[in-house]
Structure 1
Amino acid sequence: MGIVSTTKLVVNKNNLQKTKVLEETYSDELAPNQVLFEVDTFSLTSNNITYGVLGEQLKYWQFFPAEEGYGIIPVWGFADVVVSNHPEVKVGQRFYGYYPMGTHLLVTAGRVSPFGFSDKTPHREGLASVYNFYSYTANDPSFTSETEALNALFRPLFTTSFLIDYHLVDENFFNATQIVITSASSKTAQALAFLLAERKKQHRLNINIVGLTSNTNLDFVKNLGWYDKVLPYDNLDQLNTNETFVVVDFTGNHNTQYQLQTTLGESLVYNCLVGLVDWQNLKGEKPLPKKGAIFFAPNHAAKRQQELGVAGFQQKIGIAWQQFINTIGSSLSVKEHHGAQELESVYKSMLNGKIDPQEGHMVRLQ
């Protein structure tokens, strides 16, 4: 019997600043249909911080259980099969999917297709299916060795943006003429702005795409070229309240929400709450005039898969994705971090909002 040594980073559920690096072992004698992944590389974005902030509320802590009081924040990345007890999953195959901040993951493969399989480990039953699927990279044309970092950094965020765009189109943009996107420099916001700008150009839509960002990131967001107007957060008085507005909020900042709701008033026809980039300012002294609608991407993904079929849904995303990465690749600098110490460092920088939006962060723990 062989022993596999593993490393993982856990965070305190009640204090995300508090982390621990744990070592443990797996036996390489697996139960039927079990597969042991060795995680090669994964991305860290503000999306992962949202997973931590909403870990209890949206069950993110349940994907990779940890000791009492601690949780493992999920990440998107690539792993190789190092041990397999499933006849259709072979050692050496590479899969893209949802992994822990760690070196290994033990899963139970369900029905295997040429495109991948879902983890059927009991503790993941009932969780959002989109997070349980592992995609076999050899049979997915979206994955190449040259674009792996872009896939890990942007693909899950791009899917969320694709679903928001689809939803807004379904609702005819709620008859709004102004689409305001907060945290306009964040990767999910960039993807949404790209999709809306492409749609506006192709269909000559009467909408304006407005990005809200910090003064620090103002030039960066303007230079993206997808926003019709870019404003710092302290210039909301420049919004024309004679128009009608959709807000897509990626910040979660209470005061920003309060200012938008009070400034726009009845002109705000749909308030879409997506992310928690500014997770340290979720509360404020003044109650919000009205609540927004939380956008939970897995529910919208399930709806679109039902409408289009899984293959049709993936095809639509794939076409848009290829257009996006052809555009975004040259404007992003990918930084790679090695080992648990560097993971802790970049995680805390991300947690505290000290990340340059022009950078993408990839981690290798091995």
Structure 2
Amino acid sequence: MGAIKALDFVVKRDDLQQSKTLEKNYPDQLDDNKVLFKIDLFSFTSNNITYAVSGDRLGYWKFFPTKDGYGIIPAWGFAEVIRSTHPEVSIGQRFYGYFPMSSHLLVSPAKVGVNGFMDGMPHRKELPSVYNYYSNIEADSTITPKTEKLFSIFRPLFVTSFLIDDFLTEQDFFQTTKIILTSASSKTAQALACLLNDRKKKEGLNLKIIGLTSKANSGFVSGLGWYDQTICYDEIDQLNSNHKHIVVDFTGNHETQFRLQSVLGEHLVYNCLVGLVDWKNMKGKHKLPKKGEFFFAPAHAEKRQKEWGMAKLSQNLGMAWKLFEDAVISTLEIKDYKGAQNLKQVYSDMLNGKIDPKQGNILSLS
């Protein structure tokens, strides 16, 4: 069969503006109980920029080690088994999961079952299990050839939104009626707004979902139909400071945080930090009155898995996903990009804030 030439897209860890493609070879013969994936496609959203910006702090660079000083940004997508020395994983099977921005990935399947397996590579054993599981698409009825790209774009973000919605519900929304989502056009915010809006209607809750966005995206956000009110960043002072609010922050923008905290004061009862869409403005001249609480989705997922069991967690997630999938499909334009140069351009655009909320990016280096 011969050795397989592979490509890795890497970025400089101390200067994310620098990126390049590295070549490497996988051997003709794999060691025992190994599987080589050919990565067919993966999505690229602002969530991937969060992975890069927080790569050292949250350990995202540890998943797919590469050349010193560089990192491979993780992405969610689909891959096909092209070589296998594992008796329970067959050539031709396809899996969904957490992949490098690469053409191939070598894994060591463990705990193999009908639904998929864990990657048992030594360097991944101490990392969150939710990122190490590869799902056999034949066992997942929510994945079809027509919806793979939508699944790749939204599902990983949707899981975070699902868990935030579940957490806020568990906390009885901190006895508030007003929830502000910053970067309201971002895909994770869209999913959360959709879930909150559905819960509000089904359960008769007195909730007001407020989308905070740029002027350029205000029309798009308003048109989604999931937000009760859309305001722009320069209108923060118009918020009613006499009512309790929750803020779910996807921007990471220091000045936005300062203004929200200053206007709402003690009526900001829960400040949930999630994303880093505006990673260039994470620092500012004003000291923040409060730090906020970082929401680490894998921790809440593991909590629910222990309490509910994996079957119930999967069932609840699947039902919520179907609702969102039906709602979001008409709002999205999916664009496909192939090759290293296109990936480099999409990465640069996303890194520098050139994001079209109506667009979903699907890439491939294979």
Q: Same fold (TM over 0.5)?
A: yes
Task: Note the residue ranges of structure 2 that are not aligned, 5 or more in a row.
Answer: none
Normalised TM-score (structure 1): 0.99
| Post-superposition offset of 1:233 | 0.4
TM-align CA RMSD = 0.7
Match of 2:101? 101
| 3-state SS in 1 of match to 2:113 | coil
Match of 1:128? 128
Match of 2:45? 45
* Distance in 1 between residues matched to 2:251 and 2:33, nearest whole Å: 41
Match of 1:198? 198
2:92 equivalent to 1:113:
no
Match of 2:295? 295
Once the two structures are superposed, what CA deviation does each residue of 1:180-201 show, in whole Å capped at 9, x if it has no partner?
0000000000000000000000
Match of 2:277? 277
Once the two structures are superposed, what CA deviation does each residue of 1:127-170 show, in whole Å capped at 9, x if it has no partner?
01000000000110111000001110000100000000000000
* Distance in 2 between residues matched to 1:69 and 1:280, nearest whole Å: 20
Task: Please tell me the residue identity of whatever aligns with 1:137.
Answer: I
| Post-superposition offset of 1:260 | 0.3
Once the two structures are superposed, what CA deviation does each residue of 1:210-262 show, in whole Å capped at 9, x if it has no partner?
00000000000000000000000000122111111000000000000000000
Match of 1:138? 138
Aligned residues: 366
Match of 2:335? 335
Match of 1:235? 235
* Distance in 1 between residues matched to 2:358 and 2:19, nearest whole Å: 26
| Post-superposition offset of 1:365 | 1.4
| 3-state SS in 2 of match to 1:11 | strand
Match of 2:20? 20
Once the two structures are superposed, what CA deviation does each residue of 1:12-62 show, in whole Å capped at 9, x if it has no partner?
000111001111100131112110000000000000000000000100000
- Please say if residues 28 and 83 of structure 1, whose CA atoms lie closer than 8 Å, have aligned partners that are also in contact: no
- Please say if residues 42 and 362 of structure 1, whose CA atoms lie closer than 8 Å, have aligned partners that are also in contact: yes
Task: Please tell me the residue identity of whatever aligns with 1:180.
Answer: I
Task: Please tell me the residue identity of whatever aligns with 1:112.
Answer: V
Once the two structures are superposed, what CA deviation does each residue of 1:102-125 show, in whole Å capped at 9, x if it has no partner?
100000000211000000000101
Normalised TM-score (structure 2): 0.99
| 3-state SS in 1 of match to 2:146 | helix
* Distance in 1 between residues matched to 2:211 and 2:327, nearest whole Å: 19
Matches within 5 A, 1:196-235: 196-235=196-235
* Distance in 1 between residues matched to 2:103 and 2:28, nearest whole Å: 15
Match of 1:264? 264
Match of 2:5? 5
* Distance in 1 between residues matched to 2:176 and 2:83, nearest whole Å: 53
* Distance in 1 between residues matched to 2:250 and 2:364, nearest whole Å: 27
Task: Please tell me the residue identity of whatever aligns with 1:213.
Answer: T
Task: Please tell me the residue identity of whatever aligns with 1:85.
Answer: T
2:69 equivalent to 1:69:
yes
Match of 1:188? 188
Task: Please tell me the residue identity of whatever aligns with 1:110.
Answer: A
Match of 1:31? 31
| 3-state SS in 1 of match to 2:152 | helix
* Distance in 2 between residues matched to 1:274 and 1:98, nearest whole Å: 19
Once the two structures are superposed, what CA deviation does each residue of 1:317-361 show, in whole Å capped at 9, x if it has no partner?
000100111111111000000100000000110111102100000
| 3-state SS in 2 of match to 1:146 | coil
| 3-state SS in 2 of match to 1:226 | coil
